[in-house]
Amino acid sequence: MRQPVIQLHNLHKRFGAVQAVRHLNLEVFSGECFGFLGPNGAGKTTTISMILGLLRPTAGRVVVLGEEVTPDHTAALRHVGALAGAPGFYPYLSGRANLRLLAALYPDVDDVRVEEVLALVGLQEAANRKAKAYSTGMKQRLGLAAALLHRPKLLILDEPTSGLDPVGMAEMRALLRKLTEEGITVFLSSHLLHEVEQTCDRVAILNRGQLVAQGPVADLLAGKHDLEEVFMAAVHAPNPTAA
Ligand X SMILES: Nc1ncnc2c1ncn2[C@@H]1O[C@H](COP(=O)(O)OP(=O)(O)O)[C@@H](O)[C@H]1O
Footprint of Mg ion on this chain (CB under 5 A)? 44-45
Cα(78)–Cα(58) distance, integer angstroms = 24
Nearer to Mg ion, 41 or 60 (CB): 41
Given ligand X, Mg ion, none, residue 92, with its beta carbon under 5 to 8 Å by kind, binds: none
Burial of 118 (0-12, 13-18, 19+ CB in 10 A): buried
Residues 6+ apart with CB under 8 A from 129: 94, 95
Q: Does residue number 31 form part of the binding site for ligand X (CB under 6 A)?
A: no
C-beta closer to ligand X: residue 16 or 238: 16
Judged by CB, which is closer to ligand X: 48, or 117? 48
Residue nearest to Mg ion (CB): 45
Residue 18 makes contact with ligand X by CB under 6 A: yes
Which one of 34-42, 66-74, 92-100, 132-140 is the stretch in contact with ligand X (CB under 6 A)? 34-42
46 or 140: CB nearest ligand X: 46
- Torsion 199-200-205-208 (CA) sign: negative
Using CB under 6 A as the binding rule, whether residue 200 contacts ligand X is answered as no
**Closest to 45 (Cα-Cα) out of 85, 10, 16:** 85
Total binding residues for ligand X by CB under 6 A?
Answer: 11
Q: How far is CA 112 from the centre of its chain?
A: 26
Give least dist CB 17 to ligand X, A: 9
Q: From the CB of 37, what's the least distance to Mg ion, in Å? A: 12
Q: Least distance in Å: CB of 41 to ligand X?
A: 4
Nearer to ligand X, 38 or 143 (CB): 38
The span from the CA of 22 to the CA of 13, in Å, is: 7
CA 17/CA 30 separation, integer angstroms: 36
Length reported for the chain: 243
Shortest Cβ 33–Mg ion spacing (Å): 19
Q: Which does 43 bind (CB under 5 to 8 A by kind): Mg ion, ligand X, none?
A: ligand X
Using the minimum distance from each CB to ligand X, give the nearer residue, 15 or 92: 15
Tell me the pairing of strands 210-216 and 202-207.
Answer: antiparallel
**38 versus 87: smaller Cβ distance to ligand X:** 38
The beta strand positions in the chain, using DSSP E, are 4-15, 18-29, 33-37, 59-64, 67-68, 80-84, 154-158, 185-190, 202-207, 210-216
Beta strands 59-64; 4-15: pairing state: antiparallel
Phi/psi of residue 118, each to 5°?
A: -60, -40
Binding to ligand X in span 37-66, by CB under 6 A: 38, 40-46
- Binding residues for ligand X (CB under 6 A): 15, 18, 20, 38, 40-46
